[in-house]
Amino acid sequence: MSLVFHVPSTSPGTPAQRRELLHALATALEAARDEVVKVAGAETGLTDARLNGELDRTSGQLRLLGDYVADGRHQSTRVSPGAGPGGVDIRQIVVPVGPVAVFAASNFPLAFGVLGGDTGSALAAGCPVLVKAHPAQPRTSELLASIAAPILGGAFAIVHGGADVSLAVVRHPEIKAVGFTGSLVGGRALMDEAAARPDPIPVYAEMGSINPVFVLPGAAADLDRAGALAAAVTGSSGQLCTKPGLVVVPSTATPFAEALAEAVADTPVHRMLTDGMAAAHADWIGTLRTSGLAVSIGTATPAAVATIVDADSLGESLLSEHFGPSVVIVLADDFPALAATLDGQLTATVHASLPEDAEDARDLLPVLVQKAGRVVWNGVPTGVAVVDAMLHGGPWPATSAAWSTSVGTAAVERFQRPVALQGVPTDLLP
């Protein structure tokens, strides 16, 4: 049986018109706050405080993206006067790529959902958007779509379904680019489908990260840092793409490792997003219980969990992303060498106390810059600022396109392409 769905084809208009649409979306979302928070909370288990904050972030980024293109900041500034044959000017502009498929994420039902950053940046670029709703949040998705439809009209549509629908969306000939946040398995499937098209299209996929944190010797003497890291591990039940999943401490810093493990296990967390995620987390706890490693496990359900290992005990399972309130704490001596073995990451964090950690930090930072899309100093990777300079991306397998970002104004660049105009009269320029 063939799958039938509508791919929107109406342009969201000029940059000024896009700004008006995005601002209108933000205002409408805020007006529906109470209902949105109630419905999303029931489907996800996320707290009202978390969802209210996420709604503010979502409306804020819609307005930011609208202002960005209305100011013309998305356009290229590359001009080569007189450089063409016969002394004509060559000027570069950007144009929308065409209809974009956006896959709503489960862990950020608003900021990466139907009206999230991928949808906002595609509309800002001038592209109509087809959103594939997340199957775990059908009511939230429909509510958000009902807010968007009267404002966006023919520039927006939504489709529901499983993996078969997802693949059909990607192979649809009218779709010209894809924005995705989810698992490595899901992202790779979409990438393979896009590459197999007669006209391959780009898939901008954010797929996972363990977001390593390196606590240098001077910083490890400050046990208060353990509390902030534990909060980052367990916040939103550990269901954030930037959750620290690996914390590396000096082999002599067992007091810090134990304080962190205890703080994680003692933190109460709310239910997880789906039964499948909860089951996977419970399976991971079961694996750790029988591993013979030092493990600290909370008493609630779901339980937060931390394990302490030596660097030479690290294997593939301990270096894989485990969605949920869990962390692997590693006792190590050579931080740069360990960092060099890691896959690409969304983030990497350094905790240091200066001046005593300056030399170690100087050796470590160049390695982390090669491994991560964002390097954090004396902070936590959770909490991604929606600003011009933000880079929410990273080398494979964190994302499929290390040069791109899904957060911040540069996210618009994913959904536009450059065109060089040679000798075109100024008064005829698009």
Catalytic residue set:
206, 241
Task: Name the one residue in this structure whose structure tokens are 């470590």.
Answer: 364
- Beta strands 345-351; 372-377: pairing state: parallel
What does the alpha-carbon distance between residue 213 and residue 350 come to, in Å, rounded to a whole number?
A: 6
Instruction: Say if CB 253 and CB 283 are below 8 A apart.
Output: no
Single-letter amino acid, residue 5: F
Which tokens go with 229? 């890291």
Would you give the distance in Å from CA 411 to the centre of its chain? 11
Which tokens go with 155? 């520039």
Sheet order of strands, 416-422 included: 79-80, 90-96, 416-422
Across-strand partners of 303? none
